[in-house]
Structure 1
Amino acid sequence: MKQIMRSLSAFLSTLSATGLFATAALADNSQFQGADPHAMVIGRELWIFPTGGPGGAWEADRFGAFSSANLKEWRSRGTLIQRDEIGWIGEDGAREHFLWAPAVATRAGKWYLYYSVGPQNPTPSRIGVAIADRPEGPYRDSGRPLVGKAEKDPKPFEAIDPMVFSDPRSGRIYLYAGGSAGARLRIWELAPDMVSIRREVTIQQPRRFTEGAFMHERNGTYYLSYSHGRWNADDYSVHYSTASSPTGPWHYRGEILGSDARHQGPGHHSFVQSPSGDWMIAYHRWDRQAGPAPFKGERQVAIDRVRYERDGRIARIAMTDGAASPIWPGP
């Protein structure tokens, strides 16, 4: 057994050196260590942009990206951008800063990386944006924060968890952000340059919203999904609301992903449609722990199938492992 483990360790080391690594545990559905995965189809591969660096671990000073053609082997795409490449990051006077919750969009041949910059306390969190010619970068920061707390804003707002959605019907581009302690969602329409704001849209607050908003459209229905609960506790879960437009008003539909007997705290997700037309959800989760919250250790990125009912509702999502886990690009 020791010889087998040494051989496996050497094999994984070789994969890492070549930019490839196997799914962490082939018996389950944990793709790799990480959090807040933004999933996109690029070519015929699934790309994931998570919180963390190019090694798949929590690194608060940089972002990495990963791609796979089969959900079994993942290729690290290297570092997208590092904290010391963001010139305005120290303007708030905070002693240290963290990067998390990236989102990626593309327009007119360019790629745009949106990201959260903390801490929230004692200084306000902010959202930045960087531009690249390729999805793997390198990304160049735009030179200023895209969103920060307005000095005269009477309501508390955490500028975190950005998500950009291009409306296929109107062609307008929307930025969704906010949440956590303030549990407040805000939406802006972006200018065509993708790095400046045209206007803020007044919205109704979605029911049970905490953070991590994601928007997708299917058959004319707009699905606003989001995380509810504490990020490091058993009540963290995914809920959703629907609307006839990307800015509401929202019709709350309920919880679609929550803790089960093996895994806890699933959330901060993204929806993606495979080249075969199947819908999937990428999210992070914790392996079930013996002790109470707050959970410790590292979160794992997982991917599961999404099924829609005949009336357009999203069926409750089952967290899978082993042979029950989805394949890419699907049947």
Structure 2
Amino acid sequence: MGLRMSTAKATKPCERQATLDYTTSEAGNPFVDGWYADPGSAVYDGLFWVYPTSSHTSEAQTYLDAFSSPDLINWTKHPNVLTIANLAWTTKALWAPSPVSRNGKYYLYFSANDLQEDAGNLGGIGVAVADKPEGPFVDAIGKPLIGSYHNGAQPIDPDVFIDDVDGKAYIYYGGHSHANVAILNEDMISIGTFDDGETFKEITPKNYVSAAKMFKRNSTYYLIWSEGDWDGPNYCVSYAMANNPLGPFDRLATVLQQDSAIATGTGHSSVIHVPGTDIWYIFYHRRQLSETDKNHRTLAYDRMYFEEDGSIRPVTMLVKDNFADGAMLDWTTYGGEWSVEKQRLIAKETSGGMAMLDTNFADLVFDATVATVKGNGHPGLLFRVTELSRTTHKYKGYKAAISPSGVITLGKADLGVFTDLAQTRMDMALGKEYHVRVVAIGSDIKIFVDDMEKAKIQFIDGSFTTGANGVRTFNAAAMFGSVSVAKPRCS
């Protein structure tokens, strides 16, 4: 679920505030490599941990990996923290892990075998335990913790929340459009009963599908959950607020949903709170716009903000990459030789090459630093790009380019036919980085270089209305940094 705090290692709040005050994954989403989904998250001894599902067919979901980070930028992979080799009753569909620590032990609650109500097979929610966050985790009880349907809820997608008021541990779970909550006993591996004698209480909010998650901010309890079809574009996250961990949980709003410019299938989330601050992030999985395989899901996070009344603002997915993680996970290259060095995307000198993001922006504000390292070509930013050929590298779209000779160019390409739309000059130097900004709203296109108050070029052209973003180099070695693509505030 959300934050799992540990006080074993002291960290100054001011240091956390200074180093982890991000608007999104500033080094790019996805923030780790590979097909993953359903991220459960925790904070243990100063490290942030994410435990996701390995996003493959259910028969291939036989293991769980984990990732840890000191700064939410640089992530270390811990493979096979739990596998079916350590679970005698599990054969497939090992998914949706939820981590928590108590009594000096680390627990991982998980779904397995995709139990169906009328199938008669063994499956449901299990619990594994380890001495370290990275495992290896082993089966704690040798059977499902919750192995049957109660109140119509499929026993999947567990989440464990320990309340700081009374120390009680609650397990939230449920698929097939029903959600339950139960109490875990002190041993964390058996189900207890409520004061009224009930074992499983139904808490299903309106439109609920699966993936109930609980977190607490100040004295308010937040339940978030997923709605829509997990394998479709409309998968999303909604939430409710309550003054106790049992609700009632009345649906308030959708807090995270697809953005046709960035990604689809945004769901099954968890929340991380940076200790000592009021900084919160929502971790979730999503699909890139060009993906058609339902299991090709990747991990992302964005900042989550609260209003004065405690309600959650709708999350805005952002596109950024400062290359601080030394990787270019969200980029696809077309020609040229590309690498990441010293927080810059480097293009070696070739006749030409492109590196593209899987985006589809119409109106946009596109920022990046651009420098020509060698040669006298014209590296720059590509926007509203469509029909890009992997073999010929021909495309339709616009380019905003600069050269060390001082020429600033706005041009367009139409499947190999290049047209310079406008040019101007300013003093430039080889090897110096320049902040280039493109603002395109409808057919009005502006190019800024260093001075963000006065456009160097303003031109009207309506040839291309939407498409992908990227960078390009031609007859030059170049470097790019601090990439950001967003919708204009007025759009």
Relative to its length, the structure with more helix (as a share) is 1
Other-structure match for 1:117 = 112
Other-structure match for 1:300 = 298
Other-structure match for 2:447 = none
Whether the 8 Å contact between 1:203 and 1:248 is mirrored in structure 2 is no
Query: In the alignment, residue 205 of structure 2 is paired with which amino acid?
Result: P
Other-structure match for 1:108 = 103
Summarize the Cα distance change of 1:128–1:63 in structure 2 as closer, same or farther, 3 Å threshold. same
- In the TM superposition, what whole-angstrom CA distance separates every residue of 1:169-205 from its partner, at most 9, and x where no partner exists? 12111011111xx211011100000000002242442
Whether the 8 Å contact between 1:201 and 1:247 is mirrored in structure 2 is no
1:125: how far off? Answer: 3.9
Q: Secondary structure at the match of 2:251?
A: strand
Tell me if 1:241 matches 2:243: no
Whether the 8 Å contact between 1:125 and 1:158 is mirrored in structure 2 is no
Tell me if 1:39 matches 2:37: no
1:59: how far off? Answer: 5.0
Other-structure match for 1:7 = none
Measure the CA separation in 2 of the matches of 1:269 and 1:146.
22
1:156: how far off? Answer: 3.6
Query: In the alignment, residue 80 of structure 1 is paired with which amino acid?
Result: V
Other-structure match for 2:177 = 183
Query: In the alignment, residue 271 of structure 2 is paired with which amino acid?
Result: F
Summarize the Cα distance change of 1:108–1:235 in structure 2 as closer, same or farther, 3 Å threshold. same
Correspondent of 1:195 among 174, 185, 189: 189
Other-structure match for 2:249 = 250
In the comparison of the two structures, how many residue pairs are matched? Answer: 285
Measure the CA separation in 2 of the matches of 1:253 and 1:239.
7
Measure the CA separation in 2 of the matches of 1:297 and 1:147.
26
Structure of greater Rg: 2
User: More displaced, 231-240 or 269-278?
Assistant: 269-278
Whether the 8 Å contact between 2:41 and 2:48 is mirrored in structure 1 is yes
Higher relative CO (Cα under 8 Å, sequence separation at least 6) belongs to: 1
1:49: how far off? Answer: 0.5
Correspondent of 1:140 among 123, 138, 141: 138
Whether the 8 Å contact between 2:65 and 2:81 is mirrored in structure 1 is yes
- In the TM superposition, what whole-angstrom CA distance separates every residue of 1:83-105 from its partner, at most 9, and x where no partner exists? 1221233xxxxxx5220000111
TM-score (normalised: structure 1) = 0.80
Measure the CA separation in 2 of the matches of 1:111 and 1:135.
6
Q: Secondary structure at the match of 1:205?
A: coil
What root-mean-square deviation, in Å, do the aligned CA atoms of Structure 1 and Structure 2 show?
2.5
Measure the CA separation in 2 of the matches of 1:270 and 1:45.
16
Measure the CA separation in 1 of the matches of 2:179 and 2:291.
34
Summarize the Cα distance change of 1:88–1:297 in structure 2 as closer, same or farther, 3 Å threshold. closer
Whether the 8 Å contact between 2:213 and 2:224 is mirrored in structure 1 is yes
Summarize the Cα distance change of 1:188–1:144 in structure 2 as closer, same or farther, 3 Å threshold. same
1:229: how far off? Answer: 0.6
TM-score (normalised: structure 2) = 0.55
Measure the CA separation in 2 of the matches of 1:98 and 1:214.
20
Whether the 8 Å contact between 1:28 and 1:320 is mirrored in structure 2 is no
- In the TM superposition, what whole-angstrom CA distance separates every residue of 1:37-65 from its partner, at most 9, and x where no partner exists? 11112222221000129xxxx95111111
Query: In the alignment, residue 161 of structure 2 is paired with which amino acid?
Result: F
Residue correspondence of structure 1 range 190-269 to structure 2 within 5 A: 190-199=184-193, 200-261=199-260, 262-269=262-269
1:297: how far off? Answer: 4.9
Measure the CA separation in 2 of the matches of 1:167 and 1:26.
32
Other-structure match for 2:430 = none
Percent of residue pairs identical: 35
Other-structure match for 1:272 = 272
Measure the CA separation in 1 of the matches of 2:272 and 2:201.
27
Whether the 8 Å contact between 1:99 and 1:115 is mirrored in structure 2 is yes
Query: In the alignment, residue 76 of structure 2 is paired with which amino acid?
Result: R
Unaligned runs of 5+ in 2: 1-24, 194-198, 326-491
Query: In the alignment, residue 66 of structure 1 is paired with which amino acid?
Result: F
Query: In the alignment, residue 97 of structure 1 is paired with which amino acid?
Result: K
Whether the 8 Å contact between 2:27 and 2:324 is mirrored in structure 1 is no
Relative to its length, the structure with more strand (as a share) is 2
Summarize the Cα distance change of 1:146–1:325 in structure 2 as closer, same or farther, 3 Å threshold. farther
Other-structure match for 1:92 = none
Correspondent of 2:313 among 303, 312, 315: 315
Unaligned runs of 5+ in 1: 1-24, 90-95
Measure the CA separation in 1 of the matches of 2:44 and 2:27.
27
Measure the CA separation in 2 of the matches of 1:259 and 1:111.
34
- In the TM superposition, what whole-angstrom CA distance separates every residue of 1:54-77 from its partner, at most 9, and x where no partner exists? xxxx95111111112233332112
Q: Secondary structure at the match of 1:84?
A: helix
Q: Secondary structure at the match of 1:317?
A: coil
Q: Secondary structure at the match of 1:313?
A: coil
Q: Secondary structure at the match of 1:31?
A: coil
- In the TM superposition, what whole-angstrom CA distance separates every residue of 1:249-291 from its partner, at most 9, and x where no partner exists? 1132110100002200111110111135211111000011376
Whether the 8 Å contact between 1:60 and 1:100 is mirrored in structure 2 is yes
